[in-house]
């Protein structure tokens, strides 16, 4: 999953660079490519982070404040008929590399979205104005 996310990040980050190499592309097209690539990376990052804390949990540690061997102890108890119905999945720990990889992808996507917007400032004697434009 991490490899797929990394490949997706490179492909989506390379799209605006390839668009910038084209001499005939206008500034608004480049901003559009950055915006939509950022949205896609942000969605991929959120999905990766959610997968890291829900579906892709790991068994080498335990969740929360439980000692690391709690999950292993729960599995070992299942051999006893009294504890055969133990539900140990709740004790699996979150997949931290997947979680933080997703957070990094989401942050990269947010940076691309913010970088794609056109922001300008105007200073006048009466004050100062900040203009922020997003074009779809």
Q: Judge if 89 and 116 occupy the same domain.
A: no
Total tally of structural domains belonging to the chain:
2
Q: Judge if 41 and 101 occupy the same domain.
A: yes
Q: Judge if 41 and 10 occupy the same domain.
A: yes
Q: Judge if 66 and 99 occupy the same domain.
A: no
Q: Judge if 65 and 40 occupy the same domain.
A: no
| 24 confidence band (pLDDT: 50, 70, 90) | very low
- Average pLDDT for residues 80-86, to the nearest whole number? 87
List the one residue out of 43, 39, 58, 45 whose CA is nearest residue 2. 45
**Residue 119 pLDDT:** 58
pLDDT greater than 60 at residue 16: no
Q: Judge if 123 and 69 occupy the same domain.
A: no
Q: Judge if 15 and 49 occupy the same domain.
A: yes
Q: Give 97-101's long-range contacts (Cβ < 8 A, gap of 24+).
A: 97/2, 97/52, 98/1, 98/2, 98/48, 98/49, 98/51, 98/52, 98/56, 99/49, 99/52, 99/53, 100/52, 101/2, 101/5, 101/6, 101/48, 101/49, 101/52
Q: Judge if 88 and 111 occupy the same domain.
A: no
Q: Judge if 22 and 71 occupy the same domain.
A: no
Q: Judge if 51 and 98 occupy the same domain.
A: yes
Q: Judge if 48 and 99 occupy the same domain.
A: yes
**Residue 92 pLDDT:** 83
What residues form DSSP beta bridges with 129? 122
Q: Mean pLDDT for the chain?
A: 76
Could you list the residue range(s) of the whole structural domain that residue 7 is in?
Answer: 2-57+94-133
Q: Judge if 42 and 69 occupy the same domain.
A: no
């Amino acid at each position: 999953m991490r490899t797929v996310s990394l490949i997706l990040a490179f492909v989506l980050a390379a799209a605006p660079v390839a668009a910038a190499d084209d001499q005939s592309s206008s500034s608004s097209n480049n901003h559009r490519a950055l915006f939509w690539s950022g949205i896609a990376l942000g969605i991929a990052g959120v999905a990766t982070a959610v997968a890291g804390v829900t579906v892709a949990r790991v068994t080498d540690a335990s969740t929360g404040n439980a000692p690391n061997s709690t999950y292993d102890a729960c599995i070992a108890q299942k051999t006893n008929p009294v504890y055969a119905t133990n539900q140990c999945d709740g004790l699996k720990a979150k997949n931290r590399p997947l979680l933080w990889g997703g957070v990094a992808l989401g942050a990269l996507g947010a940076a691309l979205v913010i970088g794609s917007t056109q922001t300008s400032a105007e200073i006048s004697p009466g004050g100062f104005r900040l203009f922020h434009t997003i074009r779809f």
